[in-house]
Amino acid sequence: MTSAWMWVPAGIFILGTAGAATNPDTISSGAGPVEITPIQHASFTLAAGGKLIYVDPSPAELFSGKPKADLIIITDIHQDHLDPGAIKELSKSGTKLIAPAAVQKTVKSAEVLNNRQQTSWNGWTIEAIPMYNEKRGPAAGQLFHTKGRGNGYVLTYGGKRFYVSGDTENIPEMRALKNIDVAFVCMNLPYTMPVEEAAEAVKAFHPKIVYPYHYRGQDTKQFAELLEGSGIEVRLRDWYAK
């Protein structure tokens, strides 16, 4: 994969890529570097201090032969976030799994962390943040993601705060976030929110860096354009490269 810097008129740099999204980005922290590697759709890894974290590994076939996980974090029960086969493929002795209670119904070994709860693991602080739909659903009176079922997360390491949105709309809990260094923000219809709504949310909590992810079919360049002049660094990656 090759990387290139692209310039947009308002002065925001956007890191674009060509080819499969496998090369890591490095974020410095007070405890050492954190490497971010996109995999596909909602799946990526965070590596720091000799430990490897997988977020929402799915589907299973992508993870055959991949390095084993020290920690797996799951946001929701939908199959693009929860694949028991991927969890099995990545697990070794001592692998820890953190997930909301709804996930534990499928994966019994999961340690439950529900909205607004917090835990610590190997130098990381992990806080569960609400993620849900306020208005979008499969039918009148129904929502794709109900409040309290799934988790977004804020993971803190060496003073740096990483936000994983999970499947959500522009909810008050997202807008109220503070001091986020790196954010992974979803945007796809009909299940989460459109590009415009995602940009509005990001402007509200103002992370230093944002990665649009979980964006199948959406125009991420439009998202970057909507954040021109905000002072937020937008990093575009091809999360759907074959």
| pLDDT tens-digit series, residues 54-63 | 999 999 999 9
Q: Average pLDDT in the 28-40 region?
A: 97
225, 229, 235, 237 alpha-carbon torsion, rounded to 10°: 10
Residue range(s) defining the domain that contains residue 110: 24-235
pTM of the model: 0.91
pLDDT category of residue 23 using cuts at 50, 70 and 90 = confident
pLDDT of residue 17: 39
DSSP 179: S
The DSSP secondary-structure symbol of 21 reads S
For the cut 80, the answer to whether the pLDDT of residue 50 exceeds it is yes
Q: Considering its fold, how many domains does the chain have in total?
A: 1
* 17 falls within a domain: no
**H or E element that contains 197:** helix 195-205
Specify the range with the lowest mean pLDDT, choosing from 7-11, 77-81, 113-117.
7-11
pLDDT digits (tens, 9 = 90+) for 114-170: 999 999 999 999 999 999 999 999 999 999 999 999 999 999 999 999 999 999 999
The string of DSSP codes covering 119-155 is EEETTEEEEEEEE--SS--SSTT--SS-TTTEEEEEE
Is 19 a member of any domain? Answer: no
CATH number, domain at 50? 3.60.15.10
What integer is the mean pLDDT of 25-31? Answer: 98
For 226, half-sphere exposure in the C-beta direction (CA atoms, 13 angstrom radius) is 18
Do 152 and 128 form a contact (C-beta atoms < 8 A)?
Answer: yes
The span from the CA of 119 to the CA of 223, in Å, is 33
Which is it for the CA torsion 119, 143, 218, 8, positive or negative? negative
Q: Is residue 177 situated within a structural domain? A: yes
Predicted pLDDT at 22: 60
Residue 151 lies in a domain: yes
Predicted pLDDT of residue 242: 59
Q: Is residue 6 part of a domain?
A: no
pLDDT of residue 15 exceeding 60: no
Cα 51 to Cα 64, 104, 139: the distances in Å are: 19, 23, 42
In-domain check, residue 4: no
Which helix (H) or strand (E) segment is 203 a member of?
helix 195-205
Task: Tell me, yes or no, whether 8 lies in a domain.
Answer: no
